[in-house]
Amino acid sequence: MGTQILRIVLLKLALVGGGAMGWRIARHVLADQVRRAGQVLLGKQDLRCIVSMLSVIQTRQGAKRVYLAGPMSGLPELNYPAFNAKAAELRARGWHVENPAENPAPPCGTWQGYMRMSLWQLMTCEAIYLMPGWAASKGAAMEFSVAQQLGLEIIESVSVLTSPKAAAISAA
């Protein structure tokens, strides 16, 4: 587990802070992990989704990045209206929002496929915004745990848990 966390941290550093060199390193790390896993953890279709997503992320650098996490499974319309409304609000405040409600369906169509895309998105962000009910969501709880391990700012819908930047969001 410690090795996986180290790889995630190194990949995040390469993606966020490394510019063109960082992207080369990130691609090599991703390729090495896929080779080692024998494409068991990431099928070829999943890898294409991730690589496509990374190229989109690379072109959107600039604004502060926040990831939306909250309950979706079992809720009406998968809670997309709430996610989309919060994304619009945060974008109006100048944040770049990674909204999992805007993701295409993964080729495998499984919860695990959605989570793979979501965790990659989360790794590109500086903060995570926790939607109401997040603690009861298996996926959001996993995203929260990863965000804590990566030292991301934690912003909760009702209160601010950490960081001055988060306070600026809730004050606006």
pLDDT in tens, 109-136: 899 999 999 999 999 999 999 999 999 9
The mean of the pLDDT values for the chain is 75
CB neighbours of residue 169 within 10 Å: 20
Which band of pLDDT confidence, cut at 50, 70 and 90, is reported for residue 155?
very high
Between residues 147 and 31, the one the model is more confident about: 147
pLDDT of residue 92: 93
The side-by-side arrangement of strands in the sheet containing 127-130 is 96-98, 65-69, 127-130, 153-156
Over residues 31-60, mean pLDDT: 52
Taking the whole predicted model, whether its pTM rises above 0.85 is answered as: no
Over residues 81-88, mean pLDDT: 96
Domain ranges of the chain: 2-171
Please tell me the distance from the alpha carbon of residue 132 to that of residue 82, in angstroms, as a whole number: 9
**CATH architecture, domain 2-171:** 3-Layer(aba) Sandwich (3.40)
Asked whether 148 and 163 are in contact (CB, 8 A), the reply is no
Nearest to 159, CA basis, from 130, 133, 134: 130
Q: Which residues contact 34 (CB under 8 A, 6 or more apart)?
A: 41, 42, 47
pLDDT of residue 166: 46
pLDDT of residue 157: 79
